[in-house]
Amino acid sequence: MLDFPTWKKMWLWGLTLIACFTAMPSLFSAANIRWPDALPEPTVNLGLDLAGGSHILLEANPSQVAAQRLENMEESVRTTMRNAEPRIRIGDVSTAGGQLSFILDNVGDLDRARELLLPQINGDGLTREWDLTVQDGQRMVLTPTDDGIEQAVTDAMDSATEVVRRRIDALGTREPTIIRQGDTRIVVQVPGLQDPDQLKDLLGQTAKLEFKLVCRNALPTDVQAGIAPIGCEIFPYSETSDTPGMFEAVQRLGGIRGDSLTNAQAGISQDTNEDVVNIQFDPQGGARFAQLSTENVGQRFAIILDGEVISSPFFREPILGGSAQISGGFTAETANQLAISLNSGALPVDLKVIEERTVGPDLGADSIRKGLLAMLIGSVAVIALMIATYGRFGVYATIALFFNVLIILGIMAVLNTTLTLPGIAGFVLTIGAAVDANVLINERIREERKRGRRVVAAVENGYKEASRAIYDANITNFIAGVLLFLFGSGPVRGFAVVLIVGLFTSVFTAVVLTRMWVAGWLRKARPSDLNL
């Protein structure tokens, strides 16, 4: 137990010093001292309660999900019936009342149509998404089920949360907190961001991109009056387009959606020297775009972003490369924001900011000062008590405590974790846990001496027997920390991270390092008694 060969000492000291070195950039940053650029710079990020930042609460409208599902089902039904062999002809298609209904031209196709629709209405087989009924022997009615709508809303919110996370990460901010709240809300906290306007603009943009053909038979006067031909719908032109305030009629179904994109990048048009966004489709989307452009050469198509037409150019020739260019009065900043939004994916549902708070850095600085003051007072009191009670062994415990704090900071910096105010509380708790381990060891050594054991045997048995109780206690705390991390969120998880890391470092410093130092002292001084 007290045998430490040279290689083991070098290994333990090397591991300790490396961990302490990784804590230096964070300490330099806290002291406003510049860290050398040539050296690695792992740092601990400060949470919203310490660094200040922006807090935004977003809310979605679930009715949009139901409307989108109805439109998708209509397009799917039309495609399925059109591609059937032989083709099944339908008419009088209606989406009134949140239901999709249509009449079969030939009643003899009823069984075949029902069989073709069964895979679509059953969804994944776990949740029945649609109810299929037949009215008057010829009209088929598809009604969305409550379970299907609930599952669709859940999937949409999960997808929206992930899209929000990708967009914020693209801004280069560190350690945002993005969590679901209830069924239709998302909480976004970004430490260090004092101006939330850019964040709100980015999150408020749905980035729903569509390419749809312009209706050929639409009269301009009717379109401006809000009258669209059958099978068409009207969209306004955006304020940044060439014709703001005007409207365009496009085909309601068909076209290509932005979910086929694989890449979007802001750039400059070589022809017009204006800011544009270059997009690239996946193979399937590229094939559909090539087919759409080939079949409609000479016809206009509308590029629709979030329900507004940003441009309506002509297909002058087939576009076969799977790439396209979006223009529409962009600036360099708006083009870059649109590229970020398109790359992160379209939000499946609009998100509205219903609450906004900005936490100033002064409050965080005050929290840091008070937290560090509490840790300093507690540490000084503990150190004084340990040295007064255990002498040399108390000094070893104090040095181990110092290394423990540095190692925790170093590990958190390497893991790029975020330190919150509860995290500082976790620091204070780990200090107590580390000292508690040394108290158990020293008291056990004292008991062994009272039983008449020699110095070396007393120290060896003291570490051996006390380690069992230390490991048991830390395993229990570790389980509690893991549960807090898995089921908690935000500051609770920050506390759990510091607690878990501190459990490992306290055992390492309080048990392993102090035992190495005590063994070296015993071998060198060979004392006849211990001042315990």
Tens of pLDDT, residue by residue over 292-323, are: 888 888 888 888 877 888 778 777 777 777 77
Q: Worst-scoring range by mean pLDDT, 65-69, 329-333, 345-349, 433-437?
A: 345-349
DSSP 61: -
As a whole number of angstroms, the distance between CA 21 and CA 411 comes to 10
Q: Worst-scoring range by mean pLDDT, 184-198, 293-307, 383-397?
A: 184-198
pLDDT at 528 exceeding the cut of 60: yes
Report phi then psi at 39, rounded to 5.
Answer: -95, 155
- Which has more confidence, 194 or 189? 189
Mean local confidence (pLDDT), 453-479: 89
pLDDT value of position 125: 56
Q: Worst-scoring range by mean pLDDT, 81-85, 266-270, 454-458?
A: 266-270
**Residue 188, token pair as written in the block:** 């976004």
Other beta carbons within 10 angstroms of residue 158's beta carbon come to: 12
pLDDT at 124 exceeding the cut of 60: no
Q: What does the pLDDT look like over 50-74, one tens digit per residue?
A: 777 778 888 888 888 888 888 888 8
What mean pLDDT, rounded, does the chain reach? 81
Whether the Cβ atoms of residue 380 and residue 77 lie closer than 8 Å to each other: no
- Let me know if 277 is exposed, middle or buried by CB neighbors in 10 A (0-12, 13-18, 19+): buried
User: Taking each helix axis from N to C terminus, what angle separates 392-414 and 6-30, rounded to the nearest 10 degrees?
Assistant: 60
User: Taking each helix axis from N to C terminus, what angle separates 392-414 and 491-507, rounded to the nearest 10 degrees?
Assistant: 130
As a whole number of angstroms, the distance between CA 438 and CA 398 comes to 10
Task: List alpha helices for 185-271, DSSP H.
Answer: 197-204, 220-224
**Three-state DSSP class for 22?**
helix
The length of the chain is 532
Whether the Cβ atoms of residue 214 and residue 248 lie closer than 8 Å to each other: yes
pLDDT value of position 505: 92
* Strand (E) or helix (H) holding 355: strand 351-359
Q: Could you tell me the CA-to-CA distances from 12 to 7, 19, 368, 407, 512 in Å, in that order?
A: 9, 11, 32, 13, 9
pLDDT value of position 207: 63
- Which has more confidence, 450 or 342? 450
DSSP letters, 429-483, are: HHHHHHHHHHHHHHHHHHHHHHTT--HHHHHHHHHHHHHHHHHHHHHHHHHHHHH
452's torsion region: left (phi>0), alpha (psi -120 to 50) or beta? left
As a whole number of angstroms, the distance between CA 216 and CA 251 comes to 9
As a whole number of angstroms, the distance between CA 446 and CA 424 comes to 33
One-letter identity of residue 18: I
* Strand (E) or helix (H) holding 246: none
Mean local confidence (pLDDT), 396-410: 91
Percent of the chain with pLDDT over 90: 8
One-letter identity of residue 206: T
Q: What does the pLDDT look like over 236-266, one tens digit per residue?
A: 988 877 778 889 898 888 777 766 777 778 8
As a whole number of angstroms, the distance between CA 121 and CA 129 comes to 6
Mean local confidence (pLDDT), 175-197: 78
* pLDDT tier at 14, thresholds 50, 70, 90: very high
Cα angle for residues 378, 381, 385 (degrees, 5° grid): 140
Residue among 513, 427, 433 nearest 473 (CA):
433
pLDDT at 463 exceeding the cut of 80: yes
Query: Going by DSSP bridges, is the β-strand pair 418-419/45-46 parallel, antiparallel, or unpaired?
Result: parallel
pLDDT at 349 exceeding the cut of 80: no
Mean local confidence (pLDDT), 501-507: 90
**Residue 423, token pair as written in the block:** 């995290």
Mean local confidence (pLDDT), 30-44: 77
Mean local confidence (pLDDT), 122-147: 80
pLDDT value of position 224: 87
pLDDT at 165 exceeding the cut of 60: yes
pLDDT at 363 exceeding the cut of 80: no
Query: Going by DSSP bridges, is the β-strand pair 301-305/308-311 parallel, antiparallel, or unpaired?
Result: antiparallel
pLDDT at 172 exceeding the cut of 60: no
Residue among 456, 216, 209 nearest 338 (CA):
209
Q: What does the pLDDT look like over 201-242, one tens digit per residue?
A: 767 666 677 888 889 888 888 888 888 888 888 899 888 777
pLDDT at 403 exceeding the cut of 90: yes
As a whole number of angstroms, the distance between CA 48 and CA 52 comes to 5
Mean local confidence (pLDDT), 385-391: 89
pLDDT at 479 exceeding the cut of 90: yes
Mean local confidence (pLDDT), 495-513: 89
Mean local confidence (pLDDT), 437-460: 89
pLDDT at 516 exceeding the cut of 80: yes
* pLDDT tier at 362, thresholds 50, 70, 90: low
Upstream peptide bond of 86 is cis (omega within 30 degrees of 0):
yes
Q: Worst-scoring range by mean pLDDT, 6-10, 344-348, 413-417, 437-441?
A: 344-348
